[in-house]
Homo-oligomer: A and B are copies of this chain.
Amino acid sequence: MNELTVVGSGLAGTLLSLVLAQAGHGVRLFERRADMRKVPQGAGRSINLALSARGLFALEEVGLKEAVMQAAIPMHGRMVHDLSGKLSFQPYGQSGEYINSISRAALNQTLIQAAEDTGKIQIVFNQRCTGYDFAKHQVQFVDDENQFNYAFQASGPVFGADGAGSPLRRALVERVRVNYAQDYLEYGYKELTIPPGPDGGFQMEPNALHIWPRSTFMLIALPNPDGSFTCTLFYPFDGPQGFEQLQTPEAVQTFFESQFPDALPLLSDLQTEFFQNPTGALATIHLSPWYSGSELLLLGDAAHAIVPFFGQGMNCAFEDCTVLSQVMNEMGHSAHPQWEPIFQTYHQRRKPDADAIADLALENFIEMRDAVADPGFVLRKQVSLLLEKRFGRQFIPKYSLVSFHRVPYSLAKIHGEFQQQLLEQLCEGLNEAENLNWDLASTLIEHYSQTAPNLGTFLEQEVNAP
């Protein structure tokens, strides 16, 4: 039964295993860490995530949407904190459109439990993958519990969902004609906590993603079910305004006092957390192809890690599983599928979208840390939502195409470029969104509809989806 091998029981690997099991395959799922349902995992690294349409669709396909959404906190927009502590709320979409703050650990545990409950997925914990031998089709592991090395002889294909630092990718990258790039951001990140208030409740508005945009850097905060917020400071590593200058409690105190005065009183454990939590690095990974023959396929961060600023890392990894499942269905069900054409088709279809969301995520960093504080940007965002309200599917803002719809990321990106032009024209000389020139808007929307790629088929599919 255990013909398929999946490496990594993180979010992508476990959902993939569920999808493969649903297609009738037995799966052996290897995980580096201990069983997270029994052993608590270290904090300090992205403990919450923003779940949106693509991730929700994939979860629904394996029957887990409802269970996951029970612990989700809707975030309807951005709550922008200026230097004086003044708040302004910028909705993400129309009323009823929101993204969801969820706990990575809780979601992963739900997935692992569901995987085990299928009876088709055998999870082996404490098995650290260290490499792959193409000639022998063996995955190399260290059993960290019992302290020995071994090579696992795979029969069917090996699926690598072993994350941004993927050991399986390292093996693939050594092959000839495999293109690869890793690009680090000049920014590091540090996780901090705003605990619940004395009454156990939230100390800020819970149904928003909080941003303190400071042009070249930012602090953000996402709500957790226990009344706390997980905050993340994104700040350059080097230079006069960089982590290298924040070496003493005094420097940290002064920095937060001057930049985030309203957050400082809420960050009650700031000094301890700042010096105990690691300063994380962020990279974008490009790889091509993602597979080798019928033997190995990488998915999720292992294939295309992105920066977190569009909240799409997990959603994209989940959508990888959706697309792979679609391709498998299109090629016909079988107990012994032709994996190489499946991997080839999957790669061909999915790669442009993974490239697009990588770019969009980088662009969104500038939007979050800088643009949200710019009145021109705020006006264009307001106008774009008004246009959608009036023109419906003829104008769905880029953010919404990415977060509330499932049209291919590559098309969302192209539409974003058309929209940017349209909005700049429409907002020139405009002081308030309400004073919009609707005649001009109609003309521009007409032109946009005729020139931008058609999204109709994709939007239809969403409506007809289960």
Contacts and interface: CB of A to CB of B under 8 A. Distances in A.
Contacts of A182: 173, 178-181
A377 B347 CA distance: 39
Copies of this protein chain in the complex: 2
Contact of A180 (B180, B237, B281): B180
A293 B245 CA distance: 20
A181 B180 contact: yes
A281 B181 contact: no
Contacts of A178: 182, 184
A281 B177 contact: yes
Nearest to A177: B184
A176 interface: yes
A129 to B, nearest CB: 15
Contacts of A286: 181
A186 B460 CA distance: 38
Nearest to A185: B177
Interface string A151-177: 000000000000000000010011011
A183 interface: yes
Interface string A134-164: 0000000000000000000000000000000
Nearest to A186: B177
A178 B178 CA distance: 19
A176 B184 contact: yes
A179 B173 contact: no
Contacts of A181: 180-183, 286
Nearest to A180: B182
Nearest to A174: B170
Interface in A336-363: none
A180 B178 CA distance: 13
Contacts of A183: 179, 181
19 contacts: A170-B174, A173-B182, A176-B184, A176-B281, A177-B184, A177-B237, A177-B281, A178-B182, A178-B184, A179-B182, A179-B183, A179-B184, A180-B180, A180-B181, A180-B182, A181-B181, A181-B182, A181-B183, A181-B286
Given A177-B184, A178-B182, A179-B182, 8 more contacts: A173-B182, A176-B184, A179-B183, A179-B184, A180-B180, A181-B181, A181-B182, A181-B183
The 6 A-B residue pairs with the shortest CB-CB distance in the complex, in nearest-first order:
A181-B181, A177-B184, A176-B281, A180-B182, A179-B183, A177-B281
